[in-house]
Chain A
């Protein structure tokens, strides 16, 4: 019986990961594909590698938040008048309800044509059942307020960073008398930035959940290593760029600008990959967070979650994302990704780096955020810096308004599923939990 639950919820989790991969790959790789820097096929392959890496290497923090950071399992266990094993059973049913309702909501929203954030859905769903299962105090409102704040801050931060980054690019490279000369000086900085941020986000304070025995990888050491790797790649970039642009700084400005955009092509590929990496790190939790809770309870029979998220679960989530983006994501990219032609490589780089940095920092802070919203914020930032031909403002309002709907809707749905599930299955699940303890 417990195998059945694991299989059932595991499959739903995998399915969620699949949907996440399919829907969001166009956001990560869109700037590379839209600016014709990458073919769709190569974009899918690269996205697959990066999403998987992000999920496995950095995905544990946010998964932990979904697993036990929003609904505090100890609070449920501390409820009075609970039968033996009932707390565990309630959590299993609740997490299953959250998973089911998110998957359902994802489909409904896509069918209706609404923009949807898996992050908002899952957080709303988990908080929803928590309140009903064990009352107001079972939800860690401190954490919840941090999460909701991050939903406001991440697009703003993305916008700010993108604005500053693009202003930098336009003043120090595109605006110069000889852009082809300026890019040789300043593009390496951008390479350094991207490499530094991604490396540091990955290795800061050790990769303990993957490789044990790396005690020397402290915070300070991580920074040093990230700086070093960043510098090495920046130097390589400088050599490559200089060789490419030899003698081209005497062309007319218009031609030089074209050449500069060409130099930004490999940069935008790297930056798109970093967004895919960041997305995997933050969004894998939406798929496997609830499942991680369920798996733990079934395996150990208690709600005490002292052990970290097991690696195989992250691998499962990462695999789901990859399968999703390789199958359905391909089609989404073909229809959507190729039409984003206004995002030239120079703009794409700024938007991507801003998004990746913001999402990665939030991931390390264990905060689930919407990569899509952050990217939209970044794009608005570039628009403010006069970098884009025109932004459809009502669309942004629609996007940001959609999550006002998503969170309560997901919470409500989750509550309904939970109440029904509790009524129908509570006794069965308690038996399974007790059996697991023996």
Chain B
């Protein structure tokens, strides 16, 4: 009888993991973009931006499918608002990565050596935050299996624990980088400074959103 069949719909947790992985693929383009910028390889930047755009679109498709399969009246093992919040943070991360790529594309900016190291350090620190988040997020399927309790939940919660500190380090790096950028006032063009700031803000925003996503994930587990 169709009763029991209609009782269950697809669990959203598999697709959410897929979405998180796709978002991270977008983020992984940032380092190559920075390197292309250093070597002033603007064709490569163009190519990479097109790729990020496509990846972000694919992530959107996954997210739409999740939303479609999850009507409001569903009885979920996690809080619906927290799940929505988590998805939104992930989506913003992909969006910011796309924005970052566009910033590099719309103007042939040159990266001044004075700020190069700190920029790369900031990107690496951003990866610390987002990478830890990804490791936690892909555990969602196992969490569902263990019904969000026990050893598996404890493991994921401890992964999320460090996110706050890592994001704080990213913030500090961003501040220090900002100071360095403004020290270049007068030495380089104003528009260069504007674009450095844009880049910095985007990377900082990604780290921020990763931390927020971690918060939502924690709330989902604890319910």
What residues of chain A have their CB less than 8 Å away from a CB belonging to chain B? 23-24, 26-27, 30, 113, 115, 166, 170-171, 174-177, 179, 253-254, 257, 261, 332, 336, 339-340, 342-344, 372, 375-376, 379-380, 383, 385-396, 399
Contacts and interface: CB of A to CB of B under 8 A. Distances in A.
Contacts of A380: 75
Contacts of B4: 26-27, 30, 336, 340, 372, 375-376, 379
B76 A253 contact: no
B145 interface: yes
Q: Is the interface of A mostly helix, strand, loop or mixed?
A: helix
16 contacts: A115-B2, A166-B147, A175-B150, A179-B146, A254-B142, A257-B142, A257-B146, A336-B1, A379-B7, A386-B149, A389-B10, A390-B74, A390-B77, A393-B74, A394-B73, A395-B6
B7 A174 contact: no
Contacts of B5: 336, 339-340
A392 B146 CA distance: 21
Contacts, number: 125
B187 interface: no
B77 A383 contact: yes
Interface residues of B, number: 34
B11 interface: yes
A390 B70 contact: yes
Given A386-B77, A393-B74, A332 B1 contact: yes
A23 B1 contact: yes
B12 interface: yes
A395 B71 CA distance: 13
Contacts of B57: none
B8 interface: yes
A171 B151 CA distance: 9
B74 A392 contact: yes
Contacts of B77: 383, 386-390
B7 to A, nearest CB: 5
Nearest to A116: B1
A295 B107 CA distance: 93
A389 B73 contact: no
B3 interface: yes
A174 B146 contact: yes
A332 B147 CA distance: 30
Given A383-B75, A395-B3, A253 B142 contact: yes
Interface in B122-156: 139, 142, 144-153, 155
A174 B11 CA distance: 18
Given A175-B149, A386-B149, A393 B75 contact: yes
